[in-house]
Amino acid sequence: MKITLLGAGAWGTALAIAFAGKHAVTLWSRELDVAEDLRTLRENRRFFPGYHLPPTVQIETDFAQAISGAELLVVATPIAGLRPTVDRLKALDSVLPVLWVCKGFEAGSGKLPHQVVREVLGQSVPHGALSGPSFAEEVAAGQPTAVALAANDAEFAARVAAELHTTRLRIYANDDLAGVEVGGAVKNVLAIATGVCDGLGLGLNTRAALMTRGLAEIARLGVALGARRETFMGLAGMGDLILTCTGDLSRNRRVGLALAEDKSLAQILEELGHVAEGVYTAREVARLAGDLGIDMPISQAVAALLDGKLTARAAVDLLMARDPKAEIA
């Protein structure tokens, strides 16, 4: 299959490496310096140093040329870059199948990625999300990884999952697109919370409780948005939550650890040097929860912490002071 990856950040580069052994891969970069490094050094020194592209991966900076001849497009930008990218596809009258790997809700609109794509490209263009417990570094290194490919068209999901499946990257088809996207989005918010928990030295009991109650929040929001509850027991729900909350490669977890040290958000993001989607997703999740009347105290506490309305200690105290309630409700 001829695959074009749109975005040469960490994930675009990692997937180019992962798919190159089986497919004809083109990697499009909007940054000319990144493209030059990829062509000459076969390394993304700016966004993903230490990993080398196979010689078969083609590097392109011309957007129209990059998608020319492709059979599948994969948008590998942060959520903020999704709409501008599909706008460019729309301008070129592209009807090529589109996948995306970004996770979150669009800032301002609160839309999930598939809602953005459908708004721009329409329902008829085949589309879906690739999501699950995966760090770009481990995918690029060939570490065994399992993710979900979700689309509302079950046949499309199954066919593309089978095409992309490798001995190192297991891809499971899923037809609950909203569920997979909600799981991928909200787990980043919970990872900030668990980073705060660990940074304050609150112990493993606290972390386990936080993750478990956080999963309940994810499921409540997902069901309200049309997802199936069982999706959150799978790769894009519990699997991604466990990885992002406990893995040292998690940017969102690192944000939480730094917040526990009372660092400012501006300082944290500058030191991080990469996008941590949970920072922007937390506000959208808190707003959605309020609009829909959904109880999401952990997510709302994270949003308040990021907005400077609570300290890390105060957020913990607020959560622990809540009245007791039934676990399953």
Confidence of residue 321 (pLDDT cuts 50, 70, 90): confident
pLDDT band at 152 (very low <50, low <70, confident <90, very high): confident
Q: Choose, from 187, 263, 309, 325, the residue flagged as catalytic.
A: 187
Q: Give the C-alpha distances (Å, rounded to integers) separating 251 from 80, 113, 189, 196.
A: 17, 20, 11, 13
Contact partners, residue 290, CB within 8 Å, separation at least 6? 300
Q: Which CATH superfamily is domain 185-320 in?
A: N-(1-d-carboxylethyl)-l-norvaline Dehydrogenase; domain 2 (1.10.1040.10)
187 among known catalytic residues = yes
The architecture in CATH of the region 2-175 reads: 3-Layer(aba) Sandwich (3.40)
Average pLDDT on 85-91 reads: 98
Taking only the tens place, the pLDDT of each residue in 179-233 is: 999 999 999 999 999 999 999 999 999 999 999 999 999 999 999 999 999 999 9
Q: Is the pLDDT of residue 323 over 90?
A: no
Q: Are 231 and 179 in contact (CB under 8 A)?
A: yes
| Contacts of 240 by beta carbon, 8 Å cutoff, 6+ apart | 131, 132, 133, 134, 183, 184, 187
Average pLDDT over residues 110-139: 97
Q: Is the dihedral of CA 35, 67, 89, 137 positive or negative?
A: negative
Find the mean pLDDT for residues 276-282: 93
pLDDT of residue 325: 83
Closest CA to 281 of 87, 113, 149: 113
Q: Tell me which DSSP letter residue 247 carries.
A: -
Percent of the chain whose predicted confidence (pLDDT) is above 90? 93
Same fold, 2-175 and 185-320: no
The residue extents of the domains of the chain are 2-175, 185-320
Residue 329 has pLDDT above 80, yes or no: no
pTM for this entry: 0.95
pLDDT at 88 over 80: yes
Residue corresponding to tokens 């570490």:
143
